[in-house]
């Protein structure tokens, strides 16, 4: 036996109980150790997971911050660009306002120029109308020219020109109130009668008395059968009567040739119609009435008044005798004077002066 063995204390009951208790506490301690280890492992896992999550969160925060910084930079860039664009827009708007003002000034100048041209054209038309009235007594052309002038004033739309337009309309109405005489139509109608004069039928009495075919045939028969002294005397008597023309005092002018000479009768008719046509063109009322009265008398005395053509000519010529080829014409210079007064006032206003030469405010 060794010394240790010999020196071991004796085993007692208390010792054995402690040993039992130690044997029973060992499993419990082992369980505790396992729990502690498990808790430690869990804590380590949690700490490691938390650290990992913290790293991830930190990375996300850094990425978010970077994105925020990028967005902020971009926003600042956009803001700078927006401010620059706004400044450019303001400049463009200011330039646009300047351009609009320039265009408005140009438009006003153009409108003023157009009005000046239009007023000059109106003045020219009124001068033409006045000349046609004074020189040619051409009412139709004067009315057309004044209506064209009134239309141009209306197109201007300037209320200051209303008095000018009112006076112009009044003068147009005065001209339209003049009794209208169609000089051209009368001249054409007389020319047509001249062309148809040779076709107007004569009276039967004239045909029998005018170198009549019956008398001429009788003379030829008598010449062929033998010349008889009594017939010779009667023939000479008829010829002597034909050489004598009786003209009553106080009569209007008549044809110098005998009515039994058809050719000269038609020629005289044509000449008198030409005279009437010339009187119409010269607006000579007195000569027209004289020619018309003479023509009506000739047609009534020597032509077949039962014929429709002759009757129509006599009726139309009778109406011509009542015409006044030179009626009294109104004075239309008021329109021109009113227009010139407006132009004078307008030009003085444009020059910054009043009618008295004083500067306008």
Q: Which residues of 66-84 are buried (b: 16+ CB within 10 A; e: fewer)?
A: eeeeeeeeeeeeeeeeeee
Q: Where residue 18 falls among pLDDT bands split at 50, 70, 90? A: low
Domain assignment of residue 274, yes or no = yes
Name 242's Cβ contacts closer than 8 Å, sequence gap at least 6.
Answer: 258, 260
Q: Are 159 and 172 within one domain?
A: yes
Q: Where residue 151 falls among pLDDT bands split at 50, 70, 90? A: very high
Q: Is the pTM of this model over 0.85?
A: no
Q: Where residue 165 falls among pLDDT bands split at 50, 70, 90? A: very high
Q: Which of 275, 267, 308, 266 is nearest to 293 (CA)?
A: 275
132/278 Cα distance (integer angstroms):
20
pLDDT tens for 117-135 read 888 899 999 999 999 888 8
Q: Which of 334, 355, 335 is nearest to 344 (CA)?
A: 355
Segment 323-352 mean pLDDT: 83
Please tell me the predicted confidence (pLDDT) of residue 219. 42
14/241 Cα distance (integer angstroms):
215
Helix, strand, coil percentages for the chain (3-state, nearest 5): 80, 0, 20
59-63, 82-86, 285-289, 342-346: which has the minimum mean pLDDT?
A: 59-63
Domain assignment of residue 302, yes or no = yes
Please tell me the predicted confidence (pLDDT) of residue 30. 73
Q: Where residue 227 falls among pLDDT bands split at 50, 70, 90? A: very low
Please tell me the predicted confidence (pLDDT) of residue 125. 93
Q: Are 164 and 270 within one domain?
A: no
More confident residue, 350 or 357: 350
Q: Are 147 and 164 within one domain?
A: yes
DSSP assigned state of 181: -
Q: Which of 162, 74, 164, 69 is nearest to 125 (CA)?
A: 164
Question: What is the percent of the chain where pLDDT is above 90?
Answer: 15
Give yes or no for residue 336 having a pLDDT over 60. Answer: yes
Domain assignment of residue 15, yes or no = no
Please tell me the predicted confidence (pLDDT) of residue 117. 86
Domain assignment of residue 144, yes or no = yes
Q: Are 304 and 192 within one domain?
A: yes
Domain enclosing residue 200, as ranges: 183-210+258-320
Please tell me the predicted confidence (pLDDT) of residue 107. 66
Give yes or no for residue 233 having a pLDDT over 80. Answer: no
Domain assignment of residue 119, yes or no = yes
Q: Where residue 215 falls among pLDDT bands split at 50, 70, 90? A: very low
Segment 334-348 mean pLDDT: 87
Domain assignment of residue 276, yes or no = yes
Segment 201-211 mean pLDDT: 54
Q: Are 157 and 284 within one domain?
A: no
Please tell me the predicted confidence (pLDDT) of residue 139. 87
Q: Where residue 357 falls among pLDDT bands split at 50, 70, 90? A: very low
Please tell me the predicted confidence (pLDDT) of residue 255. 39
Q: Are 312 and 295 within one domain?
A: yes
Q: Are 197 and 291 within one domain?
A: yes
Q: Are 132 and 195 within one domain?
A: no
Q: Where residue 14 falls among pLDDT bands split at 50, 70, 90? A: low
Q: Are 270 and 302 within one domain?
A: yes
Mean pLDDT of the residues in the chain: 75
Q: Are 174 and 187 within one domain?
A: no
Q: Are 187 and 309 within one domain?
A: yes
pLDDT tens for 273-331 read 999 999 888 888 889 899 999 999 988 888 888 889 889 999 988 888 888 888 888 88
Domain assignment of residue 303, yes or no = yes
Q: Are 264 and 346 within one domain?
A: no
Domain assignment of residue 50, yes or no = no
Please tell me the predicted confidence (pLDDT) of residue 25. 59
Structural domains of the chain, count: 2
């Amino acid at each position: 036996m060794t010394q240790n063995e010999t020196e071991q204390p004796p085993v007692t009951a208390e010792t054995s109980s402690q040993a039992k208790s130690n044997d029973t506490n060992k499993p419990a301690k082992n369980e505790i150790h396992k729990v502690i280890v498990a808790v430690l492992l869990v804590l380590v896992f949690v700490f490691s997971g938390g650290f990992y999550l913290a790293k991830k969160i930190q990375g996300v925060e850094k990425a978010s911050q970077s994105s925020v910084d990028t967005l902020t930079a971009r926003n600042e860039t956009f803001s700078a660009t927006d401010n620059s664009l706004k400044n450019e827009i303001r400049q463009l708007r200011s330039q646009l306002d300047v351009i609009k003002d320039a265009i408005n000034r140009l438009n006003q100048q153009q409108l003023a120029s157009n009005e000046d041209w239009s007023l000059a054209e109106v003045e020219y038309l009124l001068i033409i109308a006045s000349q046609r009235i004074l020189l040619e007594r051409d009412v139709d052309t004067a009315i057309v020219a004044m209506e064209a002038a009134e239309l141009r004033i209306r197109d201007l739309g300037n209320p200051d020109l209303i008095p000018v337009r009112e006076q112009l309309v009044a003068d147009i109405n005065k001209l339209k109130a003049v009794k209208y005489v169609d000089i051209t139509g009368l001249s054409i109608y007389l020319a047509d009668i001249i062309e148809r004069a040779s076709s107007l039928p004569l009276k039967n009495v004239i045909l029998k008395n005018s170198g009549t075919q019956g008398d001429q045939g009788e003379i030829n028969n008598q010449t062929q059968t033998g010349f008889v002294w009594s017939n010779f005397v009667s023939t000479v008597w008829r010829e002597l009567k034909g050489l004598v023309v009786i003209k009553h005092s106080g009569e209007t002018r008549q044809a110098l040739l005998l009515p039994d000479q058809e050719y000269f009768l038609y020629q005289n008719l044509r000449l008198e119609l030409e005279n009437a046509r010339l009187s119409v063109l010269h607006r000579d009322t007195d000569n027209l009435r004289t020619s018309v009265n003479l023509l009506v008398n000739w047609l009534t005395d020597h032509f077949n008044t039962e014929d429709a053509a002759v009757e129509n000519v006599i009726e139309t010529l009778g109406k011509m005798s009542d015409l006044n080829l030179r009626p009294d014409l109104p004075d239309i210079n008021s329109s021109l004077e009113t227009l010139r007064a407006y132009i004078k006032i307008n030009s003085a206003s444009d020059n910054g002066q009043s009618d008295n030469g004083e500067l306008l405010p």
